[in-house]
Amino acid sequence: MISYEVRNGVAWLTIDRPEARNALSQEVRDGLWAGTRRFVADDSAAVLVLTGAGDKAFCAGGDLKEMAETALEVPPPDFLPQFGRNIDVPKPTIAAVNGVAYAGGFLLAQQCDLVVAAEHARFAVTEVKLGRGAPWAAPLSWLVPPRIALEILLTGDPLDAHRAREAGLVNDVVPLAQLRSRAQELAERIAANAPLSVRAAKQTAYLSRADAYERAEEIWAPVYRSRDAQEGPAAFREKRTPVWEGR
């Protein structure tokens, strides 16, 4: 489900579940944790590139069928590695977004330091369409203008790669055939720099967003525990339109 390889000082962590649009099953999440810890401890790797297998999805988010079966309420703190939040990743990270990055997939791309996207990539925080929560999106208005952040969060509608770049969510947009080479080239440019300077630069850039998550968890906790939060995944599993109760 997850592969890890190092090429010229660049670690590639790949979600390899294309038949399910690289959705975040328990096995995938466990693999992401293991791969992230491996990168942090890997002296041969200076930069991490996170990507998905196939050409349709970087990651479509949580495995909604699994969530419906387990009646997941508030995800535990270790549900998914969130770089810089629940796991310290001092070295730089790049998301190579090869398709849709929705919900938890958006989270993974957001938590990377840089993003390179294929032209057909799409980005969305779809939680409002499923009655779920997105406290992890607390830094979004730090990454993009607040009105763009509100549009993303309130509509749940996707941004295409070019609009995501215009908004500041994406650094570069390239044809799919060039995605891996562009991400590798960018990573190698970073890896060639002085490592202590690179790590200090990364740490400095995030000084202003450290406190947002705690308040966001408080805001979203009652949403996670609501009936609607169970209705969204159940409706997905049963292939029907959700019936929202607002409680």
Tell me if 228 is assigned to some domain.
no
* C-alpha dihedral (224, 225, 230, 231), degrees to nearest 10: -90
**Cβ burial, residue 129 (10 Å; 0-12/13-18/19+):** middle
CATH code: domain of residue 76: 3.90.226.10
Tell me if 12 is assigned to some domain.
yes
Residues in the chain predicted with pLDDT less than 50, given as ranges, are none
What is the domain range of residue 156?
A: 2-177
Tell me if 51 is assigned to some domain.
yes
Number of domains in the chain: 1
Tell me if 239 is assigned to some domain.
no
pTM of the full structure: 0.86
Tell me if 103 is assigned to some domain.
yes
Sheet containing strand 10-15, edge to edge, reads: 2-7, 10-15, 47-52, 93-97, 114-118, 172-174
Closest CA to 108 of 43, 35, 209: 35
Confidence at residue 210, expressed as pLDDT on a 0 to 100 scale: 61
Residue given tokens 């609009």 in the structure block: 163
Give dist(CA 131, CA 68) in Å, integer.
12
For 29-78, write each residue's pLDDT tens digit: 999 999 999 999 999 999 999 999 999 999 999 887 776 677 777 888 88
Tell me if 203 is assigned to some domain.
no
Closest CA to 136 of 68, 79, 70, 188: 79
Confidence at residue 180, expressed as pLDDT on a 0 to 100 scale: 98
Q: Which amino acid is at 202?
A: K
Residue 99 CA: distances (Å) to CA of 26, 123, 165, 175, 208: 21, 9, 15, 11, 30
Report how far apart the first and last C-alpha atoms of the chain are (Å, whole number): 36
Confidence at residue 211, expressed as pLDDT on a 0 to 100 scale: 67
User: Residues 77, 213: contact at Cβ < 8 Å?
Assistant: no
Tell me if 126 is assigned to some domain.
yes
Tell me if 158 is assigned to some domain.
yes
